[in-house]
Structure 1
Amino acid sequence: MASASVMLQECGIRPSLQRVLILDYLKSVHSHPSVDSIYQALLPGNPGLSRTTVYNTLELFAEKGLALSLDFGEGFLRYDGETKPHSHFRCEKCGRVIDIDSVPEGCEQMLPEGCSLTGTSLYMFGLCPQCNRDRDV
Structure 2
Amino acid sequence: MQETANILKDHGIRPSLQRVFVYRYLRSVKTHPTVDEIYMALLPEHPSLSRTTVYNTLELLLENDLAISLDFGDGFLRYDADCSPHSHFKCRKCGKVYDIFVAPPDCTQMIPPGFTLQGTSLYMFGLCDKCAVGDGDARSEAGMTVEN
1:58 equivalent in structure 2: 58
Greater displacement, 9-18 / 99-108: 99-108
1:38 equivalent in structure 2: 38
Deviation digits for residues 47-102 of structure 1, max 9, x if unmatched? 10111110111111111111101111111110001011111111111111011112
Greater displacement, 42-51 / 107-116: 107-116
Name the count of aligned residue pairs.
135
Find the aligned partners of 1:105 and 1:8 in 2 and give their Cα distance.
30
Q: Structure 2, unaligned stretches of length 5 or more?
A: 136-148
Q: Structure 1 residue 134: deviation in Å?
A: 7.9
1:47 equivalent in structure 2: 47
CA 1:94–1:5: 2 relative to 1, 3 Å: same
SS at match of 2:32: coil
Indicate if the aligned counterparts of 2:65 and 2:83 stay in contact, CA closer than 8 A: yes
Q: Give percent identity, aligned residues only.
A: 60
2:109 equivalent in structure 1: 109
Find the aligned partners of 1:106 and 1:52 in 2 and give their Cα distance.
36
CA 1:79–1:104: 2 relative to 1, 3 Å: closer
TM-score when scaled to structure 2? 0.85
Q: What is the identity, as a one-letter code, of the residue corresponding to 2:119?
A: G
Structure with the bigger percentage of helix: 1
Q: Structure 1, unaligned stretches of length 5 or more?
A: none
Find the aligned partners of 1:52 and 1:115 in 2 and give their Cα distance.
35
Find the aligned partners of 2:70 and 2:3 in 1 and give their Cα distance.
24
CA RMSD of aligned residues (A): 1.8
Indicate if the aligned counterparts of 2:87 and 2:103 stay in contact, CA closer than 8 A: yes
Find the aligned partners of 1:71 and 1:105 in 2 and give their Cα distance.
18
Indicate if the aligned counterparts of 2:85 and 2:104 stay in contact, CA closer than 8 A: no
Find the aligned partners of 2:105 and 2:122 in 1 and give their Cα distance.
12
Find the aligned partners of 1:74 and 1:104 in 2 and give their Cα distance.
21
TM-score when scaled to structure 1? 0.91
SS at match of 2:84: coil
SS at match of 2:93: coil
Q: Structure 1 residue 106: deviation in Å?
A: 3.9
